[in-house]
Structure 1
Amino acid sequence: MTTEQEHAPESPDRAQDRSRPGWVTDELIGKWCAGVSCDASRAAAVQPVTALAPFDLTPIPAAPGCTPEDVTAAVAGARSARTRWAATSLRRRGDVVLAFHDLLLERQDQVLDLIQWETGKARYHAWQEVAQVAALARHYARRAPHYLADRRVRGMVPGLTKTREVRVPKGVVGVISPWNYPLYLGVGDVLPALLAGNAVVSGADPQTVLTLLWTRDLLIEAGLEGGLWRIVTGPGPVVGTALVDSVDYVCFTGSTATGRTVAERAARRLVGASLELGGKNPLLVREDADIAAAATGTAAAAFANAGQMCIHIERVLVHEKVYDAFREALVRETEKLRLGTSYDYTPDLGSLTSAARLATVRAHVDDAVAQGAKVLTGGRTRPDIGPLCYEPTVLEGVTDRMAVCRDETFGPVVSLYSYGTDDEAVALANQGSYGLSASIWSKDTREAARMARRIRAGSVNINDGAAAAAGSIEAGMGGMGDSGLGRRHGAEGIRKYTETQTVATQRLMPLGPGSGPGAVAKFVRRTNGQLALLRRLRVR
Structure 2
Amino acid sequence: MTTIHPARTNGFAVHAPGCGDLVGEHPIRTEAEVRAAVERARVAAAWWSRLSYAERGERLDRFRGVLARRAAQLAGVIHDETGKPHSDAMLEIALTLDHLAWAARNAPKVLGRRRAKVGLLMANQAATVEYQPLGVVGVIGPWNYPVFTPLGSIAYALAAGNAVVFKPSELTPGTGAWLVEAFGQVVGEHPVLQLVTGDGSTGAALCGAGVDKIAFTGSTATAKKVMAACAPTLTPLVAECGGKDALLVDADADLDAAADATAWAGMANAGQSCIGTERVYVHERVYESFLAKLVAIAGKARAGSDPEAQLGPITLPAQVGIIRRHIDTAVAAGGRVVLGGSDGIADNVVQPTILVDVPEDAPAVTEETFGPTLTVTKVRDMDEAVALANATGYGLGAAVFGGRGQHLAERLRCGMVALNAVFSYPRIPALPFGGVGDSGFGRIHGPEGLREFAYAQSVTRQRFAAPLALTTFARTPKTDALVAKVMTLLHGRH
The yes-or-no answer on 1:528 pairing with 2:484 is yes
The separation in 2 between residues aligned to 1:225 and 1:286, in whole angstroms, is 56
Within 2, Cα distance between the matches of 1:458 and 1:370?
A: 33
For residues 163-189 of structure 1, what are the alpha-carbon distances to aligned partners after superposition, in whole Å with 9 as ceiling and x for unaligned?
111211111111111111100112221
Structure 1: 5+ residue stretches without partners: 1-18, 20-43
Residue number in structure 2 paired with 1:486 = 442
Alpha-carbon deviations, 1:9-29, whole Å to 9, x = none? Answer: xxxxxxxxxx9xxxxxxxxxx
Q: 1:54 to 1:513 in 2, by over 3 A?
A: closer
Structure 1 residue 203 and structure 2 residue 159: aligned?
no
The offset of 1:226, in angstroms, is 4.7
Q: Are 1:349 and 2:349 counterparts?
A: no
Alignment of 1:440 with 2:403, yes or no, is no
Alpha carbons 1:96, 1:224 under 8 Å: kept = no
Give the TM-score normalised by the residue count of structure 2: 0.93
Instruction: Look up the match of 1:398.
Output: 358
Q: Which residue of 2 aligns with 1:80?
A: 43
Output aligned runs, 1:273-422, within 5 Å. Answer: 273-342=237-306, 346-380=308-342, 387-422=347-382
Instruction: Say what the alpha-carbon RMSD is for the aligned residues.
Output: 2.2
Among 451, 457, 463, the residue aligned to 2:414 = 457
Deviation at 1:294, TM superposition (A): 0.9
SS at match of 1:278: coil
One-letter identity of the residue aligned with 1:431: A
Q: 8 Å contact 2:394–2:439 — kept in the other structure?
A: yes
Tell me if the contact between 2:127 and 2:461 (Cα under 8 Å) persists in the aligned partners: yes
Change (3 A) 1:185 1:528: same
How far apart are the structure 2 equivalents of 1:123 and 1:225?
33
- d(CA) in 1 for partners of 2:25, 2:471: 72
Contact 2:338 2:354 in 1 (8 A): yes
Structure 2 residue aligned with 1:502, among 448, 458, 461?
A: 458
Asked if 2 retains the 8 angstrom alpha-carbon contact of 1:381 and 1:388, the reply is: no
| Aligned match of 2:155 | 191
Residue 97 (str. 1) matches residue 64 (str. 2) = no
Q: Following the alignment from structure 2 to structure 1, what is the Cα–Cα distance between the partners of residues 232 and 428? A: 34
Q: Is the 8 A contact 1:124 1:348 kept in 2?
A: no
Distance 1:369 1:81, change over 3 A: same
- Contact 1:50–1:207 (Cα < 8 Å) also in 2: no
Taking the aligned partners of 2:231 and 2:24, their CA distance within structure 1 comes to 37
Alignment check: 8 A CA contact 2:138 2:215 kept: yes
Aligned-partner Cα distance in 1 for 2:56–2:475: 52
Deviations 1:250-300 (A, max 9, x none): 111111112123234434433321111111111111111111111101000
Q: Which amino acid aligns with 1:51?
A: V
Give 2:206's match in structure 1, choosing from 231, 239, 243.
243
Does the 8 Å CA contact 2:400/2:418 hold for their aligned counterparts? yes
Q: Secondary structure at the match of 2:72?
A: helix
- Between the aligned partners of 1:270 and 1:163, the Cα distance in structure 2 is 30
Alpha-carbon distance change, 287 to 97 in structure 1, aligned in 2, over 3 angstroms: same
Residue range with higher mean Cα deviation, 398-407 or 525-534: 525-534
**Aligned residue number for residue 40 of structure 1:** none
Do the aligned partners of 1:65 and 1:234 also contact (CA within 8 Å) in 2?
A: yes
Distance 2:169 2:483 in 1: 59
Point out the more displaced range, 347-356 or 449-458: 347-356
Once the two structures are superposed, what CA deviation does each residue of 1:438-468 show, in whole Å capped at 9, x if it has no partner? 11111x1xx2211111011111111112x21
The separation in 2 between residues aligned to 1:381 and 1:489, in whole angstroms, is 40
Deviation digits for residues 227-262 of structure 1 (CA, Å, limit 9, x no counterpart)? 1111111111x1111211221111111111121232
Partner of 1:49: 12
Percentage of identical aligned residues: 37
Of 71-80 and 307-316, more deviation after overlay is shown by: 71-80
Instruction: Write the mapping of 1:105-116 to structure 2, written as runs, cut at 5 A.
Output: 105-116=68-79
Partner of 2:4 in structure 1?
none
Q: How does 1:119-130 map to 2 (within 5 A)?
A: 119-130=82-93
Q: CA deviation at 1:520?
A: 3.0
Aligned counterpart, 1:234: 198
CA deviation after TM superposition for structure 1 residue 529, in Å: 3.2
2: distance between equivalents of 1:137 and 1:229? 15
SS at match of 1:394: strand
Deviates more, 1:288-297 or 1:215-224: 215-224
Task: Return the alpha-carbon distance in structure 1 between the equivalents of residues 329 and 377 of structure 2.
Answer: 17
Contact 1:377 1:393 in 2 (8 A): yes
Q: Which amino acid aligns with 2:137?
A: V
Offset, 1:319? 1.0
- Asked if 1:66 corresponds to 2:22, the answer is no
Q: Counterpart of 1:506 in structure 2: which amino acid?
A: Q
Per the alignment, residue 255 of structure 1 pairs with 219
Residue 152 to residue 416, structure 1, CA distance change in 2 (3 Å): same
Structure 2 counterparts to residues 424-435 of structure 1, below 5 A: 424-435=384-395
- SS at the partner of 1:293? helix
Taking the aligned partners of 1:369 and 1:535, their CA distance within structure 2 comes to 65
Deviates more, 1:365-374 or 1:167-176: 365-374
Aligned pair in 2 of structure 1 residues 523, 324: CA closer, same or farther (>3 Å)? same
Residues 513-524 of structure 1: pairs in structure 2 closer than 5 A: 519-524=475-480
What is the rounded CA distance, in whole Å, between the counterparts of 1:383 and 1:369 in structure 2?
15
Secondary structure in 1 matching 2:182? helix
Q: 1:367 to 1:224 in 2, by over 3 A?
A: farther
Asked if 1:171 corresponds to 2:125, the answer is no
**Contact kept? 2:327, 2:342, Cα under 8 Å:** no
Q: TM-score, normalised by structure 1?
A: 0.85
Q: Distance in 1 between matches of 2:46 and 2:9?
A: 31
